[in-house]
Amino acid sequence: MKNTKKVLAGVCALSFCLSAAACGSDSSSTAGGTTTTTTASYITMNESQAAAVSEAAQDLEKKELANKEIKFLAHWDINPSEGNPIGADLQMFKDVYDGYITYMSSTWETRYTDLATAVASGDSPDFFSAMDMDGFPKGALKAMFEPVDDYVKLDSELWAPAKSVNDVFVFKGKHYLAAIQASPDIVCVYNTKTIADHQYDDPATLYYNGEWTFDKFADMCNDFTDAENELYGLDGWWYSASLGHMAGKAMIELQNGEIVNNLDDPDIAKVQEQLYERIGKPQVMYDLAANGWSIRGGTNGQGVGSYETLFYPIGLWGIEGMPDAVTAFGDVEAGEIMFCPMPKFTADSKHYMTARVDGYFLCKGAPNPEGFAAFMDCRMATKTKLQDLSDETHRENYKWNEDMINMLHECYKVVNENPVFNFTSGVSDDLSAAMQNITQGTMLTGGNVKSWTEIVESEKESVDFWIEDANAGMVQ
Q: Name the CATH superfamily, with its identifier, for domain 187-353+420-474.
A: Periplasmic binding protein-like II (3.40.190.10)
pLDDT of residue 31: 53
Cis peptide before 323 (omega within 30 of 0): no
Average pLDDT, the chain: 88
Q: Residues near 146 by Cβ (< 8 Å), separated by ≥ 6?
A: 176, 362, 363, 364, 366
CB neighbourhood size of 471 (10 A): 15
Is residue 339 within 8 A of residue 319, CB to CB? The reply is: yes
Please check the confidence at residue 29 and state whether its pLDDT lies above 70: no
Rounded average pLDDT over 139-152: 93
**Separation CA 325–CA 314 (nearest Å):** 15
The CA-based angle 139-144-150, given to 5 degrees, is 95
pLDDT digits (tens, 9 = 90+) for 188-247: 999 999 999 999 999 999 999 999 999 999 999 999 999 999 999 999 999 988 999 999
- pLDDT-derived band at 8 (thresholds 50, 70, 90) equals very low
Question: In this structure, are strands 170-171 and 174-175 parallel, antiparallel, or unpaired?
Answer: antiparallel
The CA-based angle 163-421-87, given to 5 degrees, is 65
Whole-Å CA distances, 296 to 124, 193, 312, 326, 439: 39, 19, 11, 15, 21
Rounded average pLDDT over 422-430: 88
**One-letter amino acid of 226:** D
pLDDT of residue 1: 37
CB neighbourhood size of 47 (10 A): 8
**Separation CA 266–CA 273 (nearest Å):** 10
- Smallest Cα–Cα separation from 250: which of 182, 240, 321? 240
Least confident of 128-132, 256-260, 403-407: 256-260
**Separation CA 170–CA 168 (nearest Å):** 6
Is residue 312 within 8 A of residue 306, CB to CB? The reply is: no
- Smallest Cα–Cα separation from 56: which of 12, 96, 98, 16? 96
**Separation CA 319–CA 301 (nearest Å):** 9
448, 452, 456, 458 alpha-carbon torsion, rounded to 10°: -30
Higher per-residue confidence, 38 vs 280: 280
Domain 9-181+358-417, CATH 3.40.50.2000 — does that match? no
**Do the domains at 9-181+358-417 and 187-353+420-474 have one common CATH topology?**
yes
- Smallest Cα–Cα separation from 427: which of 260, 213, 300, 307? 260
pLDDT of residue 213: 98
pLDDT digits (tens, 9 = 90+) for 313-356: 999 999 999 999 999 999 999 999 999 999 999 999 999 999 99
**CB environment 262-285: b (16+ within 10 A), e (fewer):** ebebeebbebbebbbebbbeebbb
Domains in the chain: boundaries? 9-181+358-417, 187-353+420-474
**Separation CA 52–CA 259 (nearest Å):** 43
Whole-Å CA distances, 277 to 268, 342, 343, 450: 14, 18, 16, 10
pTM of the model: 0.81
